[in-house]
Chain A
Amino acid sequence: MTSYLPILVFTLVAVLFLTAALLAARLLRHAGSASMNLEPYECGNEALTFAHDHRFSIRYYLIAVLFVIFDVETVFLFPWAVLFDQLALFGFIEMMVFLAILVVGYVYIWNRGALRWV
């Protein structure tokens, strides 16, 4: 458990540094005319619409879902690789079957054009 101590210290330092920086900025900065500074274009052009008026395209969502699914797949590869020498040929075939099933899904989305952006 002590081997995680540096990570803990690192986290604490990161948090402290952030807090200190923000706090210092708050204390030092010039007050007033804040609303102007929050405009998307500080140079003076007025924004015609708000960011909230635009919806994200559903394609982002599709890509994100597919990413999560294949992310989960990758997770299984890691313990498999760790134990690869013990699992031997049987483990290899086992993982190939698992991957083959998922490759079917991959070929499917490829052919259906789900990965094409336009």
Chain B
Amino acid sequence: MPDPQEFLLLAPEILLASAGLLLLLVGTIGRGLGNRHSAVVALASLFLTAIDLYAVGRSVPGSRLLFHGTFVIDGFALFWKSLILIATALTILLSIRYMEEAGYRAGEYYALLLLASSGMLLMASGYSLLTIWIALETMALASYILAGYFKRHLRSNEAALKYFILGALSSGILLYGISLLYGAAGTVQLGELARGLELARAQGSLLVPLGWILLSAGLFFKVAAVPFHIWTPDVYVGAPTPITAYLAAASKAASFAILIRIFYEGLGTLYGDWKWILAGVAAASMIWGNVAALIQDNVKRMLAYSSIAHAGYVLMGVLAASEIGLWSVLYYLLAYTFITMGAFAMVLLLERREYAGETCADYAGLAQRSPFLAAMMVIFLVALTGIPPTGGFFGKVYLFAAAVQAGWTWLAAVGVVTSAISLYYYFRIVVYMYQTDSAEATPVPLRAPALVTVITLCAVATLVLGLYPEPFIQIAKSGLLVVAGR
């Protein structure tokens, strides 16, 4: 029987999941809580979870294994959990007005968001492949439903169906990989797995490479890296826009959390084997993501390809497997969360009924109509390209530096060249906004104060991260992991 204190340390996850279940129950009684009240309850529970998380972080210095080594609390987990909570809170702020206008029941929507996020928190802390996989499935199932939440819209149906079928397949492959690794090492606990795999590999067992290749294929799917990215554009375009933002920020962060933990702690002893695959996937993601984004006319679709490209940049940092590599990954994803949330919030603001207002041409003359919004959009686009003075700039510089330092100069070169390519499609929107005239002269209606708040907040965060990165680098450095066996 585990120590009762262990349950106290699990309190943030328990709190968030209970809040989700409570919201679900209350939403079915009579007419339910209504959209606004549900959102407020969800935000409040996120806030309480964050406080709780802080308390847990204070009471656990260093790292601690719980529940027979299936769960871990360390700086790495706490970093991702904070990031996930921030991204979820921003998603809820984006959703309030959107759900009101869409006319769908809101109770389940917010409940599912909270349940998905509690799955993500568990992923960030999972230290056994089983915990990680089940938590991942909790997140994934909730995401499929959220992507298809707009049942009356064909594009939403299509997104949910594609996401579900491909997601289920990738989960199956992931699980198959896990079972093979278990067969080779006799354990699913990451720490023991690293040792067990080293031993099995020394004995020449081919189960080991087969297992980790399948495992990493599943993980690459979850972070949307080439060649497992095919679902991304369709799902990002079809899902309700706040959910797209959620997938691009929170889901991606949680998936990277498990990817890094599995590669570093579980497969760390096989670094020499997997580095080439990771390098190939990183290069392919950077190249294909950026090249395919060039021809996209739909902004959501373009951002989907851009998110594939960014997964490539992040993988480069993971590959470096050094201290600077890892904290630059954490810093980069911190910045990316704000940037991508802000960019999707802009898409949301310009979107009209159904799916109109998503093409590049819809941004024409935005600088005349609403100079403030156009300026915000420029900040996000500049940050996505990686130009100072934004968070995206330092993130990329550190990632490239880490890659060069670790001897991956060619990969860093690919990164620099593809970043230059990305300048074209990001700035196409800037040109539309500032150089062309719009058919309409009226300012874009600022439909919801929450939406504008999110946009401003994200833009400020992006700028602060770029102008004054030092404290954030310190935060990122609190979440370091060591590659096992190095």
> What 0/1 readout, one digit per residue, does chain A (83-118) give for beta carbons within 8 Å of chain B?
000000010000000000100100110011000000
Number of A-B contacts (CB under 8 A): 14
Contact of B435 with A by CB under 8 A:
no
Taking a contact as CB atoms closer than 8 A, the residue among A90, A104, A111, A112 that contacts B21 in the complex is A104
Q: Determine whether the beta carbon of B29 is less than 8 Å from that of A111.
A: yes
Question: Which residues of A have CB within 8 Å of B28?
Answer: 107-108, 111-112
In angstroms, Cα B111 to Cα A111, docked, is 15
| Residue in B closest to A109 when the chains form the complex, CB atoms | B28
Tell me the complex Cα distance, A90–B7, Å: 13
**Number of B residues whose C-beta is below 8 Å from A?**
6
Chain B interface mostly: helix
**Which B310-328 residues sit within 8 Å CB-CB of chain A?**
none
B27-50 contacts to A, CB under 8 A, are 28-29
Of all chain B residues, the one with the shortest Cβ separation from A113 is: B28
Residue B1 is within 8 A (CB to CB) of chain A in the complex: yes
B165 located at the interface, meaning its Cβ lies under 8 Å from any Cβ of chain A in the complex: no
Interface size class of A (residues with CB under 8 A): under 10
Interface of A is mostly: helix
Asked whether, in the complex, the Cβ of B25 is within 8 Å of the Cβ of A108, the reply is: yes
Q: In the complex the two chains form, is A108's CB within 8 Å of B24's CB?
A: yes
Residue of B with least CB distance to A94: B1
Measured between C-beta atoms, what is the minimum distance from B14 to chain A in Å? 10
Measured CB to CB, the nearest residue on chain B to A101 is: B21
Asked if A90 and B24 sit within 8 Å, CB to CB, the answer is: no
Which residues of A sit under 8 angstroms from B25, Cβ to Cβ?
104, 107-108, 111
For A108, what are the chain B residues with a Cβ–Cβ distance below 8 Å?
A: 24-25, 28
Q: Are A104 and B24 in contact (CB under 8 A)?
A: yes
Given known pairs A101-B21, A104-B21, A104-B24, the reply for A90 and B29 (CB within 8 Å) is no
Expressed in whole angstroms, the Cα–Cα distance for A112 and B25 within the complex equals 10
Contacts of A107 in B (CB 8 A): 25, 28
CA gap between A111 and B107 in the complex, in Å:
13
Which A residues touch B21, using CB under 8 A? 101, 104
Please report the C-alpha to C-alpha distance between residue A111 and residue B25 in the assembled complex, in whole angstroms: 8
Q: Which residues of B contact A (CB under 8 A)?
A: 1, 21, 24-25, 28-29
Can you name 14 A-B residue pairings with CB atoms under 8 Å? A90-B1, A101-B21, A104-B21, A104-B24, A104-B25, A107-B25, A107-B28, A108-B24, A108-B25, A108-B28, A111-B25, A111-B28, A111-B29, A112-B28
